[in-house]
Every structure is written in structure tokens, then in C-alpha cells.
Copies of this chain bind each other. A is one copy, B any other.
């Protein structure tokens, strides 16, 4: 089934304790669509870049089956650029440079072939832009997922709540869940958030895994303990891409299948962080993915006789 992905396609420059990069390709839309492409051949990307953006990356997406008709290329302008530095623990980072460039006036336009997606993944962007995408889709998709961040909670809470009212799955990290609800307990925060009418809530905890909430049920997936986390950039977006790509490949939006989607999403995130940028995500063999899923199964398997 088709999956429409919205999110930035951009340049990043990254410093981690293990090295640094010059301008490399990044952005939520890049990670989401790449990760999703391993699960379904009907991935459509809506985004915007400047004329400085490498056609080789667009060709890479196309070679993975990603439809880039909805990727606008604005002549005479530059692509979005973010530069950041991770602290030693890799859990926190400082933004050094943000240049909005083409993203400042991003007006998403869905080609006709994009307007009936089965699944919709709204990557982190201004809520007003996310809403513009929603408004161009006349029939509600089977499942709509939204990623957002604390910046929009601080600056555009009203618009954000309007978008949340239109989605089925919200994906945020633990600190954002706490900020959003002003509750420290993630169980209480989840209850508050689900009460807004969401069907599912994913709380991402970085190296500590992810929680999936649904009604009164909760599922936990660990992050795979890795030898080296090289660059955390894009891990959450890779998770979202794997999660929604898997769902789009199965048609099933029940709780048990969303648990599997969390595992596939976690697997894609675990690949992402092994190299800078999209480098690792661009080249995953099917057998590598199978082995990684097996590692997740083994990581949490135990056998207790229940009374």
C-alpha cells in the first residue's frame, strides 16, 4: 500500500565525539523515505530543496523505489542547513547553525498521484505545513502518523493541537511527552496524550528504546545495545520510516502489528546510528535486516511459567 512521507530534505553538518562531517545529506524526509523503502515500493516523498542539492541523492531515492515527484527543487535558492554538535553521551546536542533557506517558504504541493495515500507519515516540520499536506488529501488515509518536537510545542502549540486532532499515531520523545503534558510519569503523560483522541502514542527514548501506548495497553521495545553509536542524527526519523513502511506493507493497523512495526522501526534506527548521516541506511541487505530482527527477538526473549 502507498505511504506518503513529508519532511525536510536538507544538508547537515555533524560533530560527534567520534568525528565530524562537512555538509552531508540529512533531513527527516530523507531518513523516513529511505527507511520505508526497505518495506514497500510505494513510497512518495513531499519536500523541498534548493538548486544546490545533489541529484545523486535524488537518484539514490529513485533507485530505492521512492517517488520524488513531490520533491520541489527551487532554482536560485539554497537547501535547509543544520549544524550541530553532540555531547559525549550522544543523548544531548547543541544546534550551532540553522539556515531555513527554502524551508522558510515551503508550500507543499501534492501531485495528483499523491492525493490518495493509504498511509501518511508527517515528519517533523512546522505544524502549519503539516496541516497543508493533510488538507490536500480528500480521503482520510488508513493511518496517519505525526512526528514533532519541543520547538513546535514552544512556538506553535495551537496549530500543533489542530494537527494532532487529525492523526492516529503521535511519535515524540520522552522529554517532549513530559513537556507536552507537564507530567513526569510517562504512564500518566501517555494517558493525557491519548485522551486527545489519538489511537496510538509512541514515546521514543533514544538508546533506551521506545514505548507504544494504546488504550490501557503498553508495549516496550529496547534499543539494540550497539558496539558503537556513531551518529544519532536521523535515528528517530529512521524509526518512523521503518515503522510506517512496515505497516504499509501489511495493511494491518491493530496493536499486535504496531508492536511489530516498533521492532522494525527500532531495527532501522539501529542501522542509522552506525554511520554518519544516511550512509548506512542507504545500504542494508535484506539478510542484515533479518539478522537484526532476530537479535531483537533474542534480546528480550525469556520463558517464565505464568501462574
A interface residue numbers (CB < 8 A to B):
17, 88-90, 184-188, 205, 208-209, 211, 217-222, 225-229, 256, 259-260, 262-263, 290, 293-294, 297-304, 306-307
State how many angstroms separate the Cβ of A243 from the closest Cβ of chain B: 13
Does B293 contact A184, Cβ atoms closer than 8 Å? no
List, in ascending order, chain B residues with CB within 8 A of A290's CB.
Answer: 306-307
List, in ascending order, chain B residues with CB within 8 A of A293's CB.
Answer: 304, 306-307
Most B CB within 10 A of own CB, among A88, A225, A297, A298: A225
Partner of A294, one of B205, B219, B229, B306: B306
Closest residue on chain B to residue A225 by CB atoms = B187
Does B260 contact A185, Cβ atoms closer than 8 Å? no
Does A88 contact B303, Cβ atoms closer than 8 Å? no
Whether A227 touches B185, Cβ cut-off 8 Å, given contacts A208-B208, A306-B293, A306-B294, is yes
Q: How far is the CA of A285 from the CA of B198 in the complex (A)?
A: 36
List, in ascending order, chain B residues with CB within 8 A of A227's CB.
Answer: 185, 187-188
Closest residue on chain B to residue A227 by CB atoms = B187
Does A300 contact B300, Cβ atoms closer than 8 Å? yes
Whether A229 touches B302, Cβ cut-off 8 Å, given contacts A209-B222, A222-B209, is no
Whether A306 touches B302, Cβ cut-off 8 Å, given contacts A211-B225, A227-B185, is no
Partner of A228, one of B185, B209, B217: B185
Q: A188-B227, A208-B209, A220-B299 are in contact. List 18 more A-B contacts (CB 8 A).
A: A90-B184, A185-B227, A187-B225, A187-B227, A188-B228, A209-B209, A218-B225, A219-B302, A220-B222, A221-B300, A222-B222, A259-B301, A260-B302, A260-B303, A262-B302, A263-B304, A290-B306, A294-B306
Most B CB within 10 A of own CB, among A217, A260, A299: A299
State how many angstroms separate the Cβ of A169 from the closest Cβ of chain B: 17
List, in ascending order, chain B residues with CB within 8 A of A307's CB.
Answer: 290, 293
Q: How far is the CA of A228 from the CA of B297 in the complex (A)?
A: 29
Closest residue on chain B to residue A190 by CB atoms = B225
List, in ascending order, chain B residues with CB within 8 A of A260's CB.
Answer: 302-304
Does A299 contact B219, Cβ atoms closer than 8 Å? yes
List, in ascending order, chain B residues with CB within 8 A of A17's CB.
Answer: 184
Q: How far is the CA of A137 from the CA of B17 in the complex (A)?
A: 47
State how many angstroms separate the Cβ of A155 from the closest Cβ of chain B: 24
Q: How far is the CA of A259 from the CA of B220 in the complex (A)?
A: 17
Closest residue on chain B to residue A302 by CB atoms = B259
